[in-house]
Amino acid sequence: MGNIDLLRVVLGAAAFFLVGMVWYGVLFGTIWKRAIGREPDAKFSGDRPLWLVFGLTFAFALLISLTLAHQFAMSSPSVRAMMMISVGYGLMLMTPAIGIRYLYLNAPWQVFAIDAGFLVTAMAAMGAVFVFMA
* Cβ–Cβ under 8 Å, residues 122 and 90: yes
* Cβ–Cβ under 8 Å, residues 61 and 123: no
Q: Band the pLDDT of 40: cuts 50, 70, 90.
A: confident
Query: Model confidence over 13-32: pLDDT tens digits?
Result: 999 999 999 999 999 999 99
What whole-number distance in Å separates Cα of residue 64 and Cα of residue 34? 28
Query: Model confidence over 103-130: pLDDT tens digits?
Result: 999 999 999 999 999 999 999 999 999 9
What whole-number distance in Å separates Cα of residue 33 and Cα of residue 69? 33
The model's pTM:
0.94
What is the pLDDT averaged over residues 65-93? Answer: 97
